[in-house]
Amino acid sequence: MNIILLGAPGAGKGTQAEIICEKLKIPTISTGAILRQAMKDGTEMGKKAKSFIEAGDLVPDDVIIGIVKDRLAADDCKNGFILDGVPRTIAQAEAIDAMGIKIDIALDIEVKDETIIERVSGRRVCSCGASYHIKYKPSAVDGICDKCGQPLTIRKDDEPATVLDRLTTYHKLTEPLKDFYKAKGILVEVDGEGSVENTTELVLKAIGE
């Protein structure tokens, strides 16, 4: 099954992707995670992306399309994949179509802006890719990753002013994707306001699990 996860930053896409990934045994492709790793490794792509990410802007479409094209060509995507945080513009969605990739479902996790702001302010992340929330998904030991024991940090782009910019960008450039996938008959909207478990239940139902 080829799945796209849509939703504002902090809607819970990454958290739900982790769960679907384990359940369906298909990989998650998170362009945000790939870009953060590239920044950490100091690659050319990472250097190019840094200023956009830290300002809360979108990284140019050509960079993202290149990442997706390479990643989806890998063997582990043959039986399906979850796209987390991509596409984020109509141009990216059209590029995925042009690659001849058939998407089965575009799952939109709906969360109000006020909730997003509260969630993002409590988000803590690990360099291994794991993500927590101080209130809703705490790590077992405060400030330490359950998976690898490394210290947790706050994403630079989760700072309040940047989050508002990211939300504005989301409404302007990413939200139109709902109509794009609705027109193809593959959009499913789920309410992401509840607990992680509640949302998971809705998400699994939507993908027929």
Smaller CB distance to ligand AMP: residue 99 or 141? 99
Q: Is 6 helix (H, G, I), strand (E, B) or coil?
A: strand
Closest approach, Cβ 208 to ligand AMP, in A, equals 25
Q: How far is CA 28 from CA 68, 102, 136, 176, in A?
A: 11, 16, 22, 23
Q: Do 61 and 151 contact (CB within 8 A), yes or no?
A: no
Is position 36 annotated as part of the catalytic site?
no
Under the binding rule (CB under 6 A), the answer on residue 133 touching ligand AMP is: no
Token pair belonging to 193: 């306001």
Please report the DSSP string for 10-41 in residue order: TSSHHHHHHHHHHHHT--EEEHHHHHHHHHHH
Cβ-Cβ contacts under 8 Å for 54 (sequence gap 6 or more): 156, 157, 162
Interactions with ligand AMP, residue window 90-109 (CB under 6 A): 92
User: Using the rule CB under 6 A, which residue among 11, 39, 58, 167 binds ligand AMP?
Assistant: 58
Q: Which of 36, 71, 88, 119 is catalytic?
A: 88
| Rounded-to-integer distance, Cα 95 and Cα 60, Å | 13
What is the number of the residue whose Cβ is closest to ligand AMP?
Answer: 32
At 87, give phi and psi (nearest 5°): -75, 155
| Rounded-to-integer distance, Cα 33 and Cα 64, Å | 12
Torsion sign (Cα): 208, 105, 127, 140: negative
Q: Which of 36, 71, 119, 123 is catalytic?
A: 123
User: Using the rule CB under 6 A, which residue among 7, 12, 85, 192 binds ligand AMP?
Assistant: 85
Q: Which of 36, 119, 124, 166 is catalytic?
A: 166
User: Using the rule CB under 6 A, which residue among 3, 11, 88, 123 binds ligand AMP?
Assistant: 88
Which stretch, 19-27, 81-89, 121-129, 142-150, contacts ligand AMP (CB under 6 A)? Answer: 81-89
Token pair belonging to 79: 């039986």
159 to 178: interface string for ligand AMP, x by CB under 6 A? -------x------------
Under the binding rule (CB under 6 A), the answer on residue 15 touching ligand AMP is: no
Give the footprint of ligand AMP on this chain (CB under 6 A): 9, 31-32, 35, 52-53, 56-59, 64, 85-88, 92, 157, 166
Catalytic center residues: 13, 88, 123, 155, 166
